[in-house]
Amino acid sequence: MSQPLTLPRWIDIGLLPLWNLAIALVVAGLVVLVIGHSPWQALTVLLNGALGSVRGLGYSLYYATTFIFTGLAVAVAIHAGLFNIGGEGQATLGGVGVALVALWLGAKLPAVVMLPLLVIASAFFGMLWAALPAYLQAWRGSHIVITTIMFNFLAAGLNGYLLVNWLRPAGSMAVESAEFAESARMPALHQIAAALGYELPSSPLNLSLVIALIACVLVGWFLWRSAAGYAVRAVGSAPRAAHYAGIRPRAQVLIAMAISGALAGMVGINEISGVQGKLTLDFVAGAGFTGIAVSLMGRNHPVGIILASLLFGVLYQGGVEVSFELQGFSREMVVTAQGLIVLFSGAMATVSAPLFARIYAAIKGGRHG
């Protein structure tokens, strides 16, 4: 009996996602046409709003930065055979960690010391919040999906409690913390450009993008170049075989989820330190769930996740412009179009894969024939 053909990486993480994206855009265009708008006009407005100006590009990259963190978080867990849908809660706790350190030490330490501490705090708090469900699954048999869902709500409740009872300035009615000191603010791109003598339009894009790209390199090295990453992937592929090979599955579950939570927690750097400058209630705004689609579309590979994050960044920024520019085109319609892209680019990826496998097998057979 012949073995199933494995697609080469350039098809798996390159051509296949592009094919799924093309199908998604066609279906989304049909939906736009049905509701009485021109698909071409909507696409033009979307691309111009997201990529047609330096400011629009800055916003698109700002959204993409958050999605890189949450997409990597999901991918690391998937390689360990786990489905971490607790990115929302882990990112929330990462923001809480950033706020606590910023409010405690921001006025005492310079930025060169403060900013690395904030990165560490965000990663540590996110890691801790993910390690708890990992422990419950590895040593108590609780299902990781159920516990991470529960921990999302727990994180939101804890964040609200801290803001209302401890971090909100006296006399303020707004449910948000005090403003951070300047040393606890991640430098924005236009601020860095101004320091170098260049002028750029203001946007929320900040130094967190560089941290996200470094995280991609480190995750790629960890998963495919380190012994620890091999152990994680071995447990994800065949836990019993890994156990007989001397690898402890329980420990790998804990390691993978801790890394996953740390990555999700660093959303707090981009959103809280880089943009808000204070802790707010709902700063994650669904990015943890979007990270699932980003990881699936990126085939759980750092390069694919970067490309998928750019796509979703463009969709988020361009979607706002479409809802403003096209009369009668509501934000809900934009979300519907985004949902179709998630469906076809993520969930439907396995539907197109057999077709590509047959085509590739035919081409490969023809060359050898």
Q: Which residue has the higher pLDDT, 41 or 6?
A: 41
Q: Beta-carbon neighbour count of residue 284 at 10 Å?
A: 29
User: Which whole number is the average pLDDT over 324-343?
Assistant: 78
Q: Which residue has the higher pLDDT, 43 or 70?
A: 70
The rounded distance, in Å, linking the Cα atoms of 39 and 337 is 11
Q: What is the pLDDT of residue 25?
A: 84
The rounded distance, in Å, linking the Cα atoms of 320 and 313 is 11
Residue 359: pLDDT band with limits 50, 70, 90: confident
Q: Inter-axis angle of helices 111-140 and 144-162, to 10 degrees?
A: 140
Residue 221: pLDDT band with limits 50, 70, 90: very high
User: Which whole number is the average pLDDT over 164-187?
Assistant: 95
Give the closest residue to 89 by CA, choosing from 257, 261, 208. 261
Q: Beta-carbon neighbour count of residue 270 at 10 Å?
A: 34
Q: What is the pLDDT of residue 337?
A: 74
Identify the weakest region by mean pLDDT among 23-27, 218-222, 244-248: 23-27
Q: Beta-carbon neighbour count of residue 176 at 10 Å?
A: 18
The rounded distance, in Å, linking the Cα atoms of 180 and 107 is 8
Task: Give the rounded distance of the alpha carbon of 154 from its chain centre.
Answer: 20
The rounded distance, in Å, linking the Cα atoms of 228 and 231 is 5
Q: What is the pLDDT of residue 232?
A: 97
Residue 193: partners with Cβ closer than 8 Å, 6 or more residues away = 199, 200
Q: What is the pLDDT of residue 348?
A: 65
pLDDT digits (tens, 9 = 90+) for 74-85: 999 999 999 999
pLDDT digits (tens, 9 = 90+) for 17-28: 788 888 888 888
Average pLDDT, the chain: 91
Q: Beta-carbon neighbour count of residue 301 at 10 Å?
A: 22
Residue 60: partners with Cβ closer than 8 Å, 6 or more residues away = 50, 51, 310, 313, 314, 316, 317, 318
Q: What is the pLDDT of residue 291?
A: 94
What letters, b where the CB count within 10 A reaches 16 and e where it falls short, cover 42-68? bbebbeebbbeeebbbbbbbbbbbbbb
Residue 337: partners with Cβ closer than 8 Å, 6 or more residues away = 28, 31, 32, 315, 319
**pLDDT of residue 316 exceeding 60:** yes
User: Which whole number is the average pLDDT over 134-159?
Assistant: 96
Identify the weakest region by mean pLDDT among 122-136, 274-288, 293-307: 293-307
Residue 349: pLDDT band with limits 50, 70, 90: low
